[in-house]
Amino acid sequence: MSTAWHDPGTSDPTGTPSYPLESVTVLKTTPFHSRTAPLVQGQAWRRWAGYSVASSYELVHDREYAAIRNAAALLDVSPLHKYLITGRDAERMLDRMVTRNLTKCRVGQVMYTPWCDVHGKVIDDGTISRLSPNLYRLTSAEPNLRWLSMNGAGMDVSVEEVSEQLGALALQGPLSRTILEQVSPADLRGLKYFRLTETTIRDIPVTISRTGYTGDLGYEIWVPAEHAPSLWDALMDAGKPYGITPAGIWALDMARIEAGLVMLDVDYHSAHHALIEAQKSSPLELGLDWTVSWEKGPYNGRQALRAERARHPEWRFVGLSVDWVSFEALYAEVGLPPQIPSVAWRVSTPVYRDGKQIGYASSGSWSPLLKQYLALAHIRAPHAAPGTEVRLEVTVEHQRRHARARVTALPFFDPERKKA
């Protein structure tokens, strides 16, 4: 198997394209693969957007999770789709496409936003970085080249996919800033939440944005693919005295649940892929009300969202905190101590109130930090007020049982350092 093909960082861009069979029958690897692969102890890989990324590096991922909340975790997030949007109408086009008011996004700023179809149902969500007045970078979970191009029809704008040219690392955790300060001349203390800076890390040209998917102090570092391995080495070297720990998707999943952040294909389905209406969600049903602008001009889904707001959304996206005493009692009945999967789960799980199903949890995890069993759930609006007592279905020794749980406002965990 040609490793060169799987590692864009070492491939020869001037060579004649060739597509040997193994290159089309195995998953793609990220520009950091030469560094991450030797660290994966249990061959625990997860698919992400057609790539293989580490589920966990160590056989037990507790330390990887702990690093996110205690020191600094280094995550390969390169599989994100990345697009450059340029042109005089770049702002107009993006503002037309997404629900947030993008005209307020200044150069050096990053905005998180979903984008909807005409019915106000979410297609995807991601970040938009304004790199210069007429240059934006959009990240997304799924391919959006066609959707972006359609939204730019008739405008002076061009869209280029740069997914493979750009590697991305997330450095997340309370010591992430300290580590970056060892290797970068950037004013990281001055870099506010959801802002970015073009800088270097040990002479490697990078963009550092103060963003992430953990709800903690953290940064994402965007690097030309050919420099990816040396960026990884630089960060691992500088981070060693500060407890830097490569972390996989399992650790990230626990952290993002604590942070109450939605995940496409887990907590909701893209309006472009849903087979039935009930599988679609609006931003208002995903707890993303804050990303919907009611003032700005026309954009995809505006009318539908206005109408939905007027009649009040049917569903709400909330946190559930499982009552431990009731959970423990269900296990005690069969003579077992409580058991929780060590990996966050992603199986739709019914939620009840007064014997009637009022919603479903879409993902859940034990929180080692909060010492609580947490879930993210879609609940019918009348039952979604924080504090509402509900029941979550749990399977105890093959039996379906109900544990008490309480509706909780999201995020579960929101440390000051995230924005400080």
CA distance 206 to 225: 11
Pick the closer one to other proteins by CB: 201 or 286. 201
Pick the closer one to other proteins by CB: 95 or 323. 323
Amino acid at residue number 280: K
Q: Which two tokens mark 193?
A: 């939440």
Residue 66 is a binding residue for other proteins (CB under 8 A):
yes
Amino acid at residue number 301: G
Pick the closer one to other proteins by CB: 70 or 207. 70
Which residues touch 347 (CB under 8 Å, ≥6 apart)? none
Pick the closer one to other proteins by CB: 274 or 369. 369
Pick the closer one to other proteins by CB: 38 or 355. 38
Q: Given candidates 53, 71, 208, 390, which one binds other proteins under the rule CB under 8 A?
A: 71
Nearest residue to 130 via CA among 85, 190, 168: 85
Residue 242 is a binding residue for other proteins (CB under 8 A):
yes
> Total residues contacting other proteins (rule CB under 8 A)?
26
Backbone CA torsion sign across 189, 190, 193, 199: negative
Instruction: Please give the helix or strand (H or E) that residue 420 lies within, else none.
Output: none
Helices (DSSP H) in 184-289: which residue ranges?
228-239, 249-258
Residue 340 is a binding residue for other proteins (CB under 8 A):
yes
Residue 366 is a binding residue for other proteins (CB under 8 A):
yes
Pick the closer one to other proteins by CB: 62 or 289. 62
Cα angle 298, 300, 303; round to 5:
65
Pick the closer one to other proteins by CB: 150 or 340. 340
Which window, 86-94, 134-142, 275-283, 335-343, contacts other proteins (CB under 8 A)? Answer: 335-343
Residue 74 is a binding residue for other proteins (CB under 8 A):
no
Taking the CB of residue 415, how many other CB atoms lie within 10 A of it? 15
CA distance 119 to 106: 29
Q: Given candidates 87, 143, 224, 338, which one binds other proteins under the rule CB under 8 A?
A: 338
Query: Coil, strand or helix: which one is 213?
Result: coil
Q: Given candidates 10, 37, 46, 63, which one binds other proteins under the rule CB under 8 A?
A: 63
Closest approach, Cβ 120 to other proteins, in A, equals 37
DSSP-assigned letters across all residues of 139-202: EESS--HHHHHHHTTTSS-EEEE-TTTEEEEEEESTTHHHHHHHH--S-TTT--TTBEEEEEET
Residue 57 is a binding residue for other proteins (CB under 8 A):
no
Q: Given candidates 6, 69, 227, 401, which one binds other proteins under the rule CB under 8 A?
A: 69
Q: Given candidates 371, 387, 398, 416, which one binds other proteins under the rule CB under 8 A?
A: 371
Which window, 91-99, 115-123, 240-248, 281-289, contacts other proteins (CB under 8 A)? Answer: 240-248
Residues that bind other proteins (CB under 8 A): 58-60, 62-63, 66, 69-71, 175, 240-243, 324, 335, 337-338, 340, 366, 368-373
